Each structure stands twice: as C-alpha cells, then as structure tokens.
Structure 1
Amino acid sequence: MHGNGRHEGSGGGRVVVGVSGSLGSLAALHRGVAEARHRGAELVPVLAWEPPGGEFGYRRSPCPPLLAAVREAAERRLLDALDAAFGGADPGVPLRPLVIRGETGPALVQAADRPEDLLVLGQSGGLLRRRLRGSVPAYCARKADCPVLTVPVPELLHELEAMNRRTRWHLPVGEMSELLFVKG
C-alpha cells in the first residue's frame, strides 16, 4: 500500500483522491468514485504522512520504531477512511489505496503524475491550518500536471457547524461541556 506514487501499466487512467479521514476528504472519495466510474478509471485514494516533527526533525533524531508505528497508523487511517466512505462495500471501481511519506501537496502531485490523471480533493483543513501550512488544493492546482477537481464541503457539515456555534452560545457552561465532550 505504500510506495512512491508512480505506477506503470494502468490501462483506463486514474482518479487520484487525497484522503485524510475528514468529512471533506470522504466527500472527495465519493466524487472520485463517480469520476472513476464515468471514465472507466482506477481509483487511487492517497494518504500522505510525515514523521513526527517533519522530515527535518526526524533526520535530527531518527527513531525507526516510531517511524514504523506512524506509517502503520497512516495505513490504518486510510483503511478506516475507506471503510467510513463505503461502509465496507465494494465501491464498484478498481481500487489501489496508497500511503506516501511526505507533505500532503507534493505527495498528491507526485501520485497524480500523468496528464490523463484526475486529482480530486476535498476542502483543505481549517483556516488556521491553511494559514500555517498553505492550502493543499491551491498547491496542487499550481503544481499538478493533470486536472484538479476540488469538492466543496458537504452542506450538512456547514449546518452542523452552525448548529454547534448556536448551541455553544445559548447553553449554560455546565451543559455546554457535556455536549462538547461526549463521544458518540
């Protein structure tokens, strides 16, 4: 499942989808399946990962067991995201999950390295993340050699966030903490 993102011999093209496990990336997976069906293409869900502290930090203080654990966690996260997106059902298109070590934007551009590929991305992280690390869709749109399709955040997510904001401000503090920290 891990590799460098380059594949030879794929016949009907590829739809490469950036996956993080977020609702935005799950929406991108569903759109990617629809695009792969329409094109008769292979679906390549990609999750990029980095060592804790980034590559520079890892070079300064390498720890192979930690690196292996982080890679395995990334593989589990990708499989969990696929399970969440498809509920364990076959998506109905050829599927080749891929985990790539590297920053998200460059890893996705590396994976979608053919002009006939399609790179599908969900909404990139929150505002703080985009300000600190930049927008992955913007990076990919600038650097990719193939078309890039950005899938908007599902409308339901907007509604849930709005409901959470309204609820947070109208409840007494004790009740609010119960709502915000209950796992479901």
Structure 2
Amino acid sequence: MSGSGACEGLPGAVRVVAGVSGSPGSLTALRRAAREAARRGGELWPVIAWELPGGEFHAARSSVPPPLRERCEQLAREELLDVLDTMFGAAGPGVPLHALIARGRPGQALVQIADRDTDVLVLGAGHRGRLHRLLSPSVSHYCLTHATCPVLAVPPSPLEAHLATVCRRNSWHLRLDAGQLTEREKPRGRVRDA
C-alpha cells in the first residue's frame, strides 16, 4: 500500500481510481471500479482519505501530537485493508492494485490523485437527505465539478434503501418484521397443485 505521494503505477496504464469510505455506496463503486479496470486493461487505485479530528484547518492552527496523527493514519490503513479483504479476499481484484491512503478532504484528495486525462474516477453516488447535504458536503459533487478526468458516479444498490430502513428501525428500537424483508411478489394467476 502506497502513501499519497506515490502515484506512479505503470507508464501509460489506465488508472481507475475509486473513492473508498467503507459505506455501502463506496463498496458498490469499488466493485464497479474493479470491473472497469479489467475492461480497460488498467490498474485499480482504491483511495481512502483521512483527516485529523477537527479537520485540517484546526490542525494547522494547533499543534497535533505525532501519536494522534499516526493513529489516524493507521486507522485509515486498517479500514482500507479491511474493505479490500471484504471485497476481493485473498484472490484480489484480478487487476494490478495500488491502494492509497491520502491525508486531506476526500474530494480534494481524489481529484489530486486522478489527475491524468486517461484516469477514470469512480465514486458511489448514494442517497443523501437534505439535512445530510447541509451538514456534510458531497464528495461526488465536488469530484464531478473539479475533476479533469472522466468521473463515473455509481448509483446505490437497490438493497441499500432496504438496509437503511432496517438500520433506522433498529436504531429507533422498533419491531423488525423479517417477513417484510423476505416477502416476494405474489404469483399472478392461479397456482394448481399437481
């Protein structure tokens, strides 16, 4: 796994850069990025961005102890390794892999890394409510407006909305009905016994 300064790879190879956060949307995007890299004969570059608590502006104004900085980077590294292991296992993605940890805001880090005309930037474009959009800027929107390479915004899996509903009900301590989750469309017509 490389640091954010090592972005070389094979000369002339197509780099498919994928933003990784561990969210369901980023996992869907990572899988799509691996398929894109294989289809284009390129390399897969999963990137996780990390910031110090309070953000970079706060860190610049105060001295941040080196152990805190090292721990934040270590947590990002562990998260990225966990995501890669979950998605691809020991077999790997089937294409050359260059995993990166980048310090900084996710959108800015991804745009800086995916800086070649031949790069492709792949992001999850998850559903976001109004409150979330107000409190947290969209990484995909930032990348779509600032990237110099093509950007592929992968829509969320249809199951993601169901998962969000289950998580919301669970966080509110509401009764979960497994029948609602597994209910299939009823057959349209008569079913005859043989």
**Band the TM-score falls in, shorter-chain normalisation:** 0.7 to 0.9
Structure 2: 5+ residue stretches without partners = 177-194
Query: Which shifted more, 56-65 or 117-126?
Result: 117-126
Q: CA deviation at 1:162?
A: 3.2
1:47 aligned residue? 48
Counterpart Cα distance in 1 of 2:34 and 2:41: 10
> Structure 1, residues 22-43: CA drift from partner, whole Å, max 9, x if none?
1111111110011000100000
Contact 1:49–1:104 at 8 Å: present in 2 too? yes
Counterpart Cα distance in 1 of 2:127 and 2:49: 14
2:89 aligned residue? 87
1:181 aligned residue? none
Contact 1:74–1:99 at 8 Å: present in 2 too? yes
Give structure 1 regions of 4+ aligned residues with deviation exceeding 6 angstroms: none
1:180 aligned residue? none
2:158 aligned residue? 155
Query: Which shifted more, 27-36 or 85-94?
Result: 85-94
Matched letter for residue 27 of structure 1: T
Contact 1:5–1:110 at 8 Å: present in 2 too? no
**RMSD of aligned Cα (Å):** 2.3
Counterpart Cα distance in 1 of 2:7 and 2:89: 28
Q: Which has the higher helix share?
A: 1
Matched letter for residue 121 of structure 1: L
Structure 1: 5+ residue stretches without partners = 176-184
TM-score (norm 2): 0.80
Counterpart Cα distance in 1 of 2:18 and 2:137: 19
Matched letter for residue 92 of structure 1: G
Counterpart Cα distance in 1 of 2:9 and 2:165: 46
Q: CA deviation at 1:75?
A: 0.7
| Distance change (3 Å), C-alpha of 1:165 and 1:74 | closer
Q: CA deviation at 1:103?
A: 0.3
Counterpart Cα distance in 1 of 2:6 and 2:136: 22
Q: CA deviation at 1:89?
A: 2.5
Counterpart Cα distance in 2 of 1:143 and 1:72: 28
Counterpart Cα distance in 2 of 1:125 and 1:95: 28
Equivalent residue in structure 2 for 1:135, among 107, 132, 138: 138
**Which of 1 and 2 has greater Rg?**
2
TM-score (norm 1): 0.84
